[in-house]
Each structure stands twice: as C-alpha cells, then as structure tokens.
Amino acid sequence: MTKKRTCPLAGRCGGCDYIGMRYEDELLEKYLEEEQFLSRFCSVSPILPSPEITGYRCKVQAVCGTEDGRLVTGIYRKGSHRLIPVRSCPLEDKRAGKILQTIRTLAGRYHIVSYDEDRKTGHLRHVLIRTSEYYDEALVVLVGSSFDLPSASDLAAALHQKHPYVRSVSIIVNTEKTSMVIPDDAEERVIYGKGYIMDRILGLDFRISARSFYQVNPRQAANLYTIAMNMAELNEHDTVIDAYSGTGTIALIAAASGAGRVIGVEANERAVSDAWENARINNLGNVSFERADASKWMKERAKEGMECSVLFLDPPRSGATEEFLAAAGRMNPERIIYISCNPETLGRDLRYIYRFMPYKAVGIQPVDLFPASRHIETVVLLERRGRSRVNGR
Ligand code: SAH
C-alpha cells in the first residue's frame, strides 16, 4: 500500500487531480472510467501502473512573474490567469526544478525581469525545460518579449556551469495574447548548444527540440510502445501504417522491430521533419513519413487500392474520424492497434468500428502515463473477424 502523496500547493495550483490520494485509489478511479467506456467491447486488463509516480515529467513549462521585486516561476491556477508560484513540483523531473531555482536566483544579477502582458514591459514570460530520461541532458528555452534578453548568454553559461546537464539554451519570442507557450510560427534563436537534446527509448535515439512532441513520461512510454509492438507481432512481410505519428516514435520502433515497410502519417510539418531526422539518426531505411491530414490521406490511399497488414493509430484527444475509420477498413489490415489518450472518444470510435467494420477488440490494456492527473492512456488490439491470415503468417 503506497502512502498518500502530498504537495503544499495541492488544491491551490490545480495542476493535479489526484495528488492527495493513494496511488492505488487513483488507479481504481481510472479503471472505473475505462470500464465505463470500454468494457462493453472487451474485458479491460488491469492498468499498468507507472514505474515512477513522482518526478516523471520530462517537460516543464513554467510561467514567470514578479513577487516582492523578485522573479518567481510557477503555474497558472487551473482555468485562470493567476500565477501560483511553485518552488518545487513533485511530478517534475528534479533536474528541471534545480534549473528553475538557479534561474530565479540569478535573475537579479542578470537583470532578468518577468514580462508584464498589460504594460508590455519586461522580458521573461515562460521557461520551458525538457530533460532526457536516458542521457543526462536538459534543454532550456527562455520564452520572452524579444531576443534582447539582458545577459542571456551569461545566464546560459552560468546554467551550464552550475548544471552540466544543461546542453542547450535558446530564446523564443512570444508577445501574442495567447495561452500557447510557443506559437507555431515563433522564431527561435539558440544561444548555447545545439537547440536539441537526445533521448533513447527501446534502443532508438530521438531528437527532442523545443517544439517536438514527445511523451512526458518516457519510461512508461517505453512500456506503452512495447505493449503495442507485442500486440502487432510484426514480421518482414508486414506493411505498417502509423497514423498520427508525431515525431515517428511508433513508426520507428515498428521499423526496428522487424516490419517490412512502415509509413508514418502526421499533419504537423515540424513533427514530420523530426521524424525523418530520427529515421536517419537510427539508420532505418524501411520507414517513410507523409505530411497530411490522416483522414484525407487514408481515404485517398484506400481509393487507390492500397492495403496494409497492421495499422497503428494514436490520435489526439478528439479521437479518429469516421472518414479515417472507414478508409482504414478498406485497407484491410489484419490488426489495428489503437492507442488513445481519451477513453470516451475511444469508446465512440469502437462503437463505429463494431457497427460498420469487421473487427473486434481482443485486448484492452490501459497504461498510466500521467500519475496524479486524470488522464489515462489505453491500447486496444482489434483483429479482423473471420478471415484467414495473409502475409505468410
Ligand atoms: N504517436 C506519437 C504522437 C501522437 S500525438 C507518439 O507516440 O509520440 C497525436 C499526433 O497527431 C500529434 O503529433 C498531432 O500533430 C497529430 N495530428 C493531429 N491531428 C491530425 C490530423 N488530422 N492528421 C494527422 N495528424 C494529426
């Protein structure tokens, strides 16, 4: 039995839903939600708990403000624009907390003042920190009102000196009235290092830059991908599609796990170029990436008669579209592995699949990627009904 987790800010910052609970109780809540939306399709396996329930977050976006003349960093209270200063967050990688503390301490010396949105004065708006689980590396992005952040390169050098794992520091300008920390078109200037760090999952290296999509709990993400690959049982005859492929994690792991040919489909241009770069770094020649809306791409390829043997899909919270699912059915995969971050839209999509497509769920495995938050990830294996296996299986 684990102890109740505590945080001095519990109930104030609003970032965690389950911080005052025992982890077993949190898992039970999450399991009940899974059952509510999914048990009508197939029995739901017990949730795979996260290997770490604190300190797992490898991406931290701190909001900057000023209190009693000093720089503070923290989080906007849920649903508001009120900054709650955070000295240390139990969910975040400890290295990120140490870097933030150094920035707060050094701010006075380097004349770094937080940005005031109303008066349009000051500089620093957010600090984004990403850490590598496998390598001892961290990336720091100072999001501010201009590139003329006073003494920015001195600050960067001081950060690296105090924390040798700080391998990259850059500045991104954001003066827009937006809740987005980094707007899509914002320019980035690297002032220390290369602008990216590396992480390794299941023996493959991934490049992580300021904007790359990357799971925030990489150790548990490795378990999630392992479950998905075990369900897929890939062999060299397989043609695999990884829809909503992000920076290509699943496609690349599939390509390295014995699949014949893998195609990733992703709408975000930057994610697609990161995916190609990751394929190059890992010397994988049997994988390619298409920048496209997944539904349109699937529909067009299905119309041309393209088939695939295994389909992975890992859509955003809104789930897949009916157009996507209908096209997926026409491509005739033997197996569909649906990875979802929202049991409700997953349930909706399974209902569509059961009504209109010859597939049935044979395994539902929830994976807890986000301890203390309400979110839960689910992997579902769907098999085609009543057809003999093809592709030499
Ligand atoms: N499979 C990846 C990331 C999945 S996150 C991983 O495990 O790391 C979902 C991805 O879907 C995001 O990268 C997002 O940019 C992409 N996306 C959202 N809408 C899309 C659409 N209509 N077509 C294609 N990709 C889309």
DSSP-assigned letters across all residues of 154-190? HHHHHHHHH-TTEEEEEEEE--SS-S-SS-TT--EEE
The pLDDT of 295-312, averaged and rounded, is 98
341 is catalytic: yes
Q: Are 144 and 181 in contact (CB under 8 A)?
A: no
Specify the higher pLDDT residue, 102 or 391: 102
Look-up: residue for tokens 């920048």?
291
Nearest 5°: the CA angle 202, 274, 174 is: 120
For the chain, give me the number of helices (H) and strands (E)?
9, 16
Residue 316 three-state SS: coil
Distance 132 CA to ligand 1 centre (A): 21
Write down the pLDDT at residue 149. Answer: 84
Could you identify the atom of ligand 1 that is nearest to the CA of residue 315? 9
What share of the chain in percent tops pLDDT 90? 84
> CATH 2.40.50.1070 spans which residues of the chain?
59-201
Of the candidate ranges 179-193, 263-277, 326-340, the one whose mean pLDDT is the lowest: 179-193
- Confidence tier at 7 by pLDDT (50, 70, 90): confident
CATH 3.40.50.150 in the chain: give the residue spans. 10-52+217-384
pLDDT at 106: 95
Atom of ligand 1 nearest to the CA of 316: 9
C-alpha dihedral over 141, 142, 147, 149, to 10 degrees? Answer: -140
- Could you tell me the distance, in angstroms and rounded to a whole number, from the CA of residue 14 to the centre of ligand 1? 27
Using pLDDT thresholds of 50, 70 and 90, give the confidence band for residue 1: low
Q: Residue 387: pLDDT band by 50, 70, 90 thresholds?
A: low
Q: Is the pLDDT of residue 11 over 50?
A: yes
Residue scoring higher pLDDT (3 or 250): 250
CA of 342 to the centre of ligand 1 (A): 14
Q: Using the structure block, give the residue that is written with the tokens 């937080």.
A: 114
CATH code for the structural domain at 59-201: 2.40.50.1070
Tens digits of residue pLDDT in 214-240: 899 999 999 999 999 999 999 999 999
Which homologous superfamily does the CATH classification assign to the domain defined by 10-52+217-384? Vaccinia Virus protein VP39 (3.40.50.150)
Ligand 1 binding pocket includes 220 (Cβ within 6 Å)? no
For ligand 1, say whether the CB of 141 is within 6 Å of any of its atoms. Answer: no
Question: 234: buried, middle or exposed (CB in 10 Å: 19+, 13-18, 0-12)?
Answer: buried
State if residue 336 touches ligand 1 by the CB under 6 angstroms criterion: no
